Every structure is written in structure tokens, then in C-alpha cells.
Chain A
């Protein structure tokens, strides 16, 4: 039992992201209101972003901006990779955040279109309206 707790404690970032992601996924599938589904979609994507960012973390390291005068001439002391956290996940997530914002914008525009046409965002009502015709 203690071992299990140790295991979870060492990897708690993964557990947290999985829980968050499942909340988002559940909302996307089960919720009836389209806006709530969109919120679920955002939670879902944010969970993945958190996962990536947690990959980049290293104990006893600082943000990936090289301090000192390396940038201007490069005469300073050598750079130790262990002192700076991994920049790659941050770069990837900057892209993924922008993509998720763009998707959210398009989805909002679609919601507005649906609302203009049917004056509701509840899925069951929409389904009823569609089957009427």
C-alpha cells in the first residue's frame, strides 16, 4: 500500500491530468447543452496542455532563458543543461494553445449560427426540431 502511494506521489502530475481530461471528455459526450460541450472541449484540451508542460519540468532548474552574457559574445561560463527546464514542451504547447483557441473561436461562431436558426442550444430540442421537418 505504501508503495502504491509512493508511486502515485512520484507521478501525481499524470494522475491529475488524466482526471481533468476525463472530466472534459465526459462533458463533451454526455452534456446536453452545446455551450457546455464546448466548455468540456476546452477542459479536455487544457488537460493535454498541462500534461505537456509537466513533461518539461525538472527539479532544481529555472525557466529556459539563459542568464548572463552568453548572448552577447559568449565569453561567460559554460551552460549546464541541468540548470534550465526543457523548452520543447513549452514551444509545442504555445502552438497547441493557439490551435485550441482558434478551434474554440470557430466552434463559437458555429454555435451562434445554430442559435440564429433554431433559437436553442439544447441538443434534444435541436434533434426534435430536425426530425419534425
Chain B
């Protein structure tokens, strides 16, 4: 196996090296790749779309369909983790901790759903109290991370950033909550149902903007057609902001879905 793979690797590498002979030098400004489309975008994108960040302009306007399918790929990954790992079998043993006293109750094979009051906490068998320092620091950090995430989404048009980056940052703030407390603490605040709907709704926002443009008489995702409603000024930039928000929603939800399912093997207990 090792020898075979070495042969395959050498053959592929040889083919690729053979292909480099004809390629332009690194950083050559006159390479064909840097002349044709690239020049059009650099010279005209600001006039066409009023968005100074060319990457966003190309991503969310000229090649917006690519980005829509990419968001669909993200949604697909989240759904895949849910489908593959989510374990619906009910647990046999339940443990409840009485918060004021710290007494732990063990309920074996309950016949029906156990309803507990606010002073009880549903915990795992191997339960450890969360560390106070970590808890406090994370609680202070998380709001700032989330505001930064919203900033990154909103400023995708003008500076590096956009829906994917912002969504990942927002999602990681929720994951931080799950790490510093535990998974159940996160799921009490952000339910699985909410995440599932948010991930689909995010892409639906993106698609909705495209479909409404079709209804208004343009091609799919042609933001120009919104001009009669929102005015001519910066209409394409507005459309891009709209789809970035959709992308941000979907990515946030999917990051958390992937995390909670992989980390608890789909059982949604306390996780790591």
C-alpha cells in the first residue's frame, strides 16, 4: 500500500510539475489571469455596484449564485451531522442536582417524563462543577465577540468580512458558551428547533431575495429590480447586505449544529 501510494503521488506530482513549465511567474502583473476578468472587476465594480470591497462585490453580486449554493452546502453539512448522529433513544438514567444544596437525585427508568422545578438542574452522570474563573471571563467576552460578529457582517461591503466570517464568529461565541458551561446550558438558551429553523431560514432569506427579484421582472438575484421599492441609491449594496445577513444566519446556526452533534455524539448531553 505504501509503495503503491508513493507511485501514485510521484506520478501526480510529476504531471503537476510538468504543467508548471508554461505558467506565468509568481506575481506577474501581466499574467492572463490578472488581465481579463480581474481588470473588468477592478475598474468597473465600484461603478456597477457601489461597493468598494471587490471581493464582496464579486462574491455577492456578479457570482452570487455560487455563493447561494455554497450556503446550501453549509446547510447540507449541518443537516448531515443532524441526520447521521442525532440519537433519539430516550436515556434510562436521569440525574438531577438540587442547586441550593448540591444534592444529586438519581431516577432510574422513569415511566413518564420527569418534571422538575427551577431549583433542579438536569445533569449527566459524570458531572463536574464549571470553573468560576473560566465562567466569568467567558461571560464577559461573549457579548463583545457577538457585537464584533455583527460588525463583520454589516461591514462586509467596505472592509474584509461578510456573512461567512461574521457567522463563524457568532457561532463560535455560542460554542464558547457551551465549552465554558456545558452543552445543556447552551441548549436551554438556544434550542435545537430554533437552530434548525434558523439554518434553513438563513438560506431562505438569500433565495427569497433572488426569487422576489424574479417576481419583480428581473433575472434571479438581480438586485437592480428592487430600485422601485428602495430607491436607486446603493441598491446593489443593499441587496448584498441582505444576502450577507441570510448567509450569517445560516452559518451561525450550522456551526452550532455541527458542534453540538459531534461533541455529544448526538445525545445532547453535557458534551465535552
Measured CB to CB, the residues of A under 8 A from B are 10-15, 18-19, 21-22, 25-26, 29-30, 54-61, 63-67, 70-72, 74, 79, 81-82, 84-92, 94-95, 98-99, 101-103, 105-106, 108-110, 112-113, 116
Q: Is the CB of B5 within 8 A of A106?
A: no
With most chain B CB atoms within 10 A of its CB, the pick from A58, A59, A92 is A58
State in angstroms the CA–CA spacing of A99 and B66 once bound together: 11
Measured CB to CB, the residues of B under 8 A from A are 1-2, 4-6, 8-9, 12-13, 16-17, 20, 23, 25-29, 31, 33-34, 37-39, 41-43, 45-47, 50-55, 57-59, 63, 66-67, 70, 73-74, 76-78, 80-81, 84-85, 158-160, 164, 258, 261-262, 265
Q: Is the CB of B42 within 8 A of A105?
A: no
| A87-B81 CB under 8 A given contacts A18-B17, A57-B27, A61-B29 | no
| A71-B50 CB under 8 A given contacts A14-B23, A102-B73 | yes
Q: Is the CB of B54 within 8 A of A84?
A: yes
Known contacts A18-B20, A55-B33, A85-B34, then 14 further A-B pairs from the complex at CB < 8 Å, ordered by chain A residue: A10-B26, A14-B16, A22-B12, A25-B5, A29-B4, A30-B1, A30-B6, A64-B54, A66-B52, A71-B46, A84-B42, A87-B57, A98-B73, A109-B258
**Interchain CB contact (< 8 A) of A30 among B2, B23, B42, B51:** B2
Using CB atoms, name the residue of chain A closest to B41.
Answer: A87
State in angstroms the CA–CA spacing of A25 and B1 once bound together: 13
Cβ distance A40 to chain B, nearest Cβ, rounded Å: 10
List A contacts of B45 (CB < 8 A).
66
State in angstroms the CA–CA spacing of A87 and B13 once bound together: 28
| A88-B37 CB under 8 A given contacts A61-B29, A66-B54 | yes
Cβ distance A33 to chain B, nearest Cβ, rounded Å: 13
- Please name 10 pairs of A and B residues whose Cβ atoms are closer than 8 Å in the assembled complex, sorted by A: A21-B16, A55-B33, A63-B160, A65-B52, A65-B158, A70-B46, A72-B50, A79-B46, A102-B77, A109-B258
List A contacts of B55 (CB < 8 A).
64-65, 87, 90-91, 94
List B contacts of A70 (CB < 8 A).
46, 52
Q: Is the CB of B51 within 8 A of A71?
A: yes
List B contacts of A103 (CB < 8 A).
77
Cβ distance B68 to chain A, nearest Cβ, rounded Å: 10
Q: Is the CB of A105 within 8 A of B67?
A: no
State in angstroms the CA–CA spacing of A98 and B59 once bound together: 13
**Interchain CB contact (< 8 A) of B47 among A22, A25, A61, A74:** A74
| A105-B80 CB under 8 A given contacts A66-B54, A70-B46, A95-B70 | yes
State in angstroms the CA–CA spacing of A99 and B74 once bound together: 7
**Interchain CB contact (< 8 A) of A105 among B29, B41, B52, B77:** B77
State in angstroms the CA–CA spacing of A25 and B84 once bound together: 27
Cβ distance B245 to chain A, nearest Cβ, rounded Å: 17
Cβ distance B259 to chain A, nearest Cβ, rounded Å: 9
Q: Is the CB of B265 within 8 A of A112?
A: yes
Q: Is the CB of A98 within 8 A of B74?
A: yes
